[in-house]
Amino acid sequence: MKHFSKEDINKMSSIYRLKMINSCTGYKSANLIATKSEKGLTNLAVFNSVIHLGSNPPIIGFILRPTTVPRHTFQNLKETGVFTVNHIHHTQIEDAHHTSAKYPQEVSEFDETNLEEEFKNGISIPFVKDSPLQLACSYLNEYHIKENDTLMIVGQIEHIFMKDEMLENDGWIDLEKGGVVSINGLEGYALPKLLERFPYARPKVKNE
């Protein structure tokens, strides 16, 4: 096996280190987060850091890079207090990845890609049309991570929309049936395949 010490990592070029460290932690969620400013300008950005934080109440989190430069997602959700999280279908990966390009705030990524806005249920923030699973969320809080000056954004799930065939009888969501992709690092998109689903694990009881 190849081995890299902390000293080796520190000596790497910035791009090489960026790619290695972003991919060494494994596959991550692939989501498009949509927001809208108070002036009605929409924004769409790909994120690989959306995580489950709790089920009761239903809360999620995601990481924002340092706000030393404009972060339109952050600005918008702070102005309006709402955002949507949209899982990426495997047919959307090229357009989804393009949302990471740095456009000025007055340019919507919806206009620069083939991704389309979808409004429903009186929710003011757009969803991504044809996304297999969509969440409407409200902003709850933010936590500064001082070690690298990033922010953990915490939001509450207000609405869940998904394709009918993805939902199992016990509430489990089969992402494979929705064609949902994951991200390897920053730019590698993968289509996971379900290997097995196990029951809730409990301690083994030895036979007497």
pLDDT computed for residue 65 by the predictor: 85
Query: Is the peptide bond between 203 and the residue preceding it cis, with omega within 30 degrees of 0?
Result: no
pLDDT computed for residue 70 by the predictor: 66
Domain boundaries, the chain: 28-190
pLDDT at 173 exceeding the cut of 90? yes
pLDDT: which is higher, 10 or 201: 10
pLDDT at 207 exceeding the cut of 90? no
66: confidence class by pLDDT, cuts 50, 70, 90 = confident
How much of the chain exceeds pLDDT 70, in percent?
Answer: 97
pLDDT computed for residue 208 by the predictor: 57
Contact 49, 89 (CB under 8 A): no
Averaged pLDDT of the chain: 94
pLDDT digits (tens, 9 = 90+) for 181-197: 999 999 999 999 999 99
Q: Which amino acid, 22?
A: N
Tokens 């994120």 locate to 47
CA distance 67 to 105: 15
Mean per-residue pLDDT, 129-145: 97
Sign of CA dihedral 93, 95, 96, 100: positive
pLDDT computed for residue 67 by the predictor: 67
Q: Which amino acid, 157?
A: I
pLDDT computed for residue 77 by the predictor: 92
Q: What is 28-190's CATH superfamily?
A: Electron Transport, Fmn-binding Protein; Chain A (2.30.110.10)
* The token pair that represents 33 in the structure block: 């987060």
CA distance 49 to 141: 16
pLDDT digits (tens, 9 = 90+) for 143-153: 999 999 999 99
CA distance 24 to 185: 8
CA distance 28 to 181: 9
Contact 166, 174 (CB under 8 A): yes
What pTM was computed for the model?
A: 0.93
Mean per-residue pLDDT, 10-36: 96
pLDDT computed for residue 204 by the predictor: 84
pLDDT digits (tens, 9 = 90+) for 86-117: 999 999 999 999 999 989 888 999 999 999 99
DSSP 37: -
The phi and psi torsions of 185 (rounded to 5 degrees) equal 80, -130
CA distance 23 to 149: 20
pLDDT computed for residue 30 by the predictor: 97
33: confidence class by pLDDT, cuts 50, 70, 90 = very high
Tokens 């010490």 locate to 5
CA distance 165 to 155: 26
Burial degree of 172 (CB within 10 A; 0-12, 13-18, 19+)? exposed
